[in-house]
Amino acid sequence: MMHWAKRNTWRGSARSWVGAGGSLSAHLAAAGQVFSVQVLSQGRQKMRLDEARALGLRARAPGYVREVLLRVDGLPVVLARSVTPHDRSLGPWRSIRGLGTRPLADVLFRRSGIARTPLEFARLQPSTPVRRHVAQAWRRASGEEISPRAFPARRSIFRRRGAPLLVMETFPAKAEPWRWPNKA
């Protein structure tokens, strides 16, 4: 089981990246010349237990899931996953269905009536199911292996007309944005 904390315990510049408020996509876009979104999967699937719990739903509830790899100057940097109850993807969150390769931030930070909970933070250890999923998705999308060390993850819930949308962003890249000379 993964432990989510209210405090960001990462040190140095990693702390500011992982704890950055606002749009992570905007921060990444400012860190390089070309920002892009690679859609890995999108559609109806059962939520993971940790996702259902975070949203206050029963285990394995049907969800609408979008998983993407965020790239800066072609380098894979962040694996992000957004989840909402499936019926909410037909109502308050229907706009996420048509995003294509646009970032979710285009909806979350440019539309009114959306509130965000404070960020929660975790260290993804090699033994967790979430970490194994991230490693598999990363390998399929980028052809790269992730580092064997623990890496940061963060999540928060956005609400629109009472409907929740959980967004989790993981930072498994060897090309860590906080180590770049032109970081945001």
H/E element, 111: none
Question: Which residues are bridge partners to 75 per DSSP?
Answer: 72
Domain boundaries, the chain: 12-147+155-178
**What pLDDT is recorded for position 183?**
47
H/E element, 140: helix 129-142
Matching CATH number, 12-147+155-178, of 3.40.1410.10, 3.30.1280.10, 3.30.1360.180, 3.40.50.1860: 3.40.1410.10
pLDDT tens, position by position, for the chain (184 residues)? 678 999 888 887 778 888 888 999 998 998 889 999 999 999 999 999 999 999 999 888 899 999 999 999 999 999 999 999 999 999 999 999 989 999 999 999 988 899 999 999 999 988 888 999 999 999 999 999 888 888 899 999 999 999 999 999 999 876 666 666 554 4
Task: State how far the Cα of 32 lies from the Cα of 91, in Å rounded to an integer.
Answer: 35
pTM: 0.92
